[in-house]
Structure 1
Amino acid sequence: MSSGDPAELPGWLQPLQSALADAQRLERLRSLRPGVGARQAAVLILIGETDQGPDLLFVERAATMRSHPGQIAFPGGGADQADVDLAATAVREAVEETGVEPSGIEVFGSLPTAHVAVSGYDVTPVTAWWRQPSPVAAADPREVASVHRVGVHELSDPASRVQVRHPSGYTGPAFEVHDLFIWGLTAHFVDGLLDLAGWQTAWDKTRMASIPERYLTDSRSRRGNDAY
């Protein structure tokens, strides 16, 4: 996997960079949902900066998609033979889905790979600094309905944090920000990122919520956390 020059990262990203090199700190996240050596896919956790601090780039998947329609996710997809590594996969998919300018993206690591049983993929979340932000939008309406930049301060706000209750009986972390509901695999990655970067804030883990019906349109999501 390619990576940027560590010296080029801003100081506020260096704690995350250090954590990504610490096997002991990564083990907790890895153990929650380990990879199994399946087909490879990657998502891009693109970390930008605004006047209010760091933010992350999300996409809302098109409602017509066969898998995970309407869900909030990081841009990403399956690896192609032409991709030199999973960083290339993540960046390519982000460009295809949001139109982001790849020259402004500085990859510097990844979170532990997680397996998604329903799709048969091992998904690697690639972390990158949005060194030179560029305009983004839904580049392919067949795949993406909308694109969102969400502030880390909003995601880490205890008022945004809930434990989700899935019809299958699974419970796990979720985020309610504006009209977005982030759960499943994406919430797993966000929760891990907040912890590793030192952005986590104590929140009430007894606060439960049901998944809004608009995010349960995929019958495969009835299988629980492995559905997404």
Structure 2
Amino acid sequence: MNRVELPQWLAPLVDLAGTIQPADFGPLLPAQPSSGERASAVLLLFWEDTSQGVPGDIRILLIRRASDMRNHAGQPAFPGGTVDPTDDGPVEAALREAVEETGLDPSGVEVLATLPELSLAVSGFAVTPVLAWWREPSPVRPVDRAEVASVHLVRVADLVDPANRLTVRHVSGRMSPAFDVDGLRVWGFTAYVLDRILHLAGWERPWDRDRAEEMS
């Protein structure tokens, strides 16, 4: 797709995709080929919701994982999962998983770029974020309740609202940026990626980094 065909609000993300480096993700480490981590991919799917006639209502698709899953139970996340042998790389894996989890129509998704592969050592995954534009949004829902508890169309305006931002400490001792949006507390890997994307795209607003809470 030619750049002129993209909506103007998407320009910061397109520019970002061409320049971002693993070091830009801060404490998230680049995946190492010899680490034995399983290749996986997540879909960072942005779009402008014009259904209410409000310009600039940029959103991103998130899910909340089922509470009894083996890894990251109950956590908010980007759609995604393991790259299967039948997948032609992380882009196909991210789209396939998003379809399986939310029922979206992949024909309406325009992939912009793959971002640097990151290590999610706590669960043994090497994760490739796939940046995409939802050119033609379609209905979404939890397809398999054993994997997905809910699907969320989260406003970027809510993510960057300082009132919704904080730092959390997990019982493991891990510190993470966090967002309280749409009835979710987004933290961990998903929050780290969101934090960096919002900052590097120039969308971040100043927030109280001293506001910290414990997580159960």
Fold equivalence (TM over 0.5): yes
> How high is the TM-score relative to the length of structure 1?
0.86
Tell me if 1:22 matches 2:19: yes
Which of 55, 58, 77 does residue 59 from structure 2 map onto? 55
1:15-94 aligned within 5 A: 15-23=12-20, 27-29=23-25, 32-37=28-33, 38-50=37-49, 51=54, 52-94=56-98
Residue 87 of structure 2 contacts residue 93 of structure 2 at CA under 8 Å; is this kept in 1? Answer: yes
Report SS of the residue matched to 1:175. Answer: strand
Q: Which residue of 2 aligns with 1:104?
A: 108
Structure 2, unpaired ranges of 5+: none
> How high is the TM-score relative to the length of structure 2?
0.90
Name the CA shift for 1:31/1:184 in 2 (closer, same or farther; >3 Å).
closer
- C-alpha distance in 2, partners of 1:151/1:167? 29
Range moving further from structure 2, 93-102 or 36-45 = 36-45
**Residue type matched to 1:197 in 2?**
A
Q: Which residue of 2 aligns with 1:224?
A: none
**Residue type matched to 2:24 in 1?**
R
**Residue type matched to 2:29 in 1?**
R
1:115-194 aligned within 5 A: 115-194=119-198
Report the identity percentage. Answer: 48
Deviations 1:145-169, CA, capped at 9 Å, x for gaps: 1100000000000011101112222
Residue 63 of structure 2 contacts residue 151 of structure 2 at CA under 8 Å; is this kept in 1? Answer: yes
Report SS of the residue matched to 2:97. Answer: helix
Offset at residue 28 of structure 1 (A): 2.2
Report SS of the residue matched to 1:19. Answer: helix
Name the CA shift for 1:18/1:114 in 2 (closer, same or farther; >3 Å).
same
- C-alpha distance in 1, partners of 2:100/2:88? 17
**Residue type matched to 1:111 in 2?**
L
- C-alpha distance in 1, partners of 2:206/2:102? 32
Offset at residue 72 of structure 1 (A): 0.5
Tell me if 1:200 matches 2:197: no
Report SS of the residue matched to 1:103. Answer: helix
**Residue type matched to 2:12 in 1?**
P
Tell me if 1:13 matches 2:10: yes
- C-alpha distance in 1, partners of 2:110/2:9? 15
RMSD: 1.6
Offset at residue 127 of structure 1 (A): 0.7
Report SS of the residue matched to 1:21. Answer: helix
**Residue type matched to 2:125 in 1?**
Y
Residue 24 of structure 2 contacts residue 196 of structure 2 at CA under 8 Å; is this kept in 1? Answer: no
Name the CA shift for 1:39/1:178 in 2 (closer, same or farther; >3 Å).
closer
Report SS of the residue matched to 1:58. Answer: strand
Range moving further from structure 2, 43-52 or 101-110 = 43-52
- C-alpha distance in 2, partners of 1:129/1:23? 18
Residue 99 of structure 1 contacts residue 138 of structure 1 at CA under 8 Å; is this kept in 2? Answer: yes
**Residue type matched to 1:43 in 2?**
V
- C-alpha distance in 2, partners of 1:158/1:113? 29
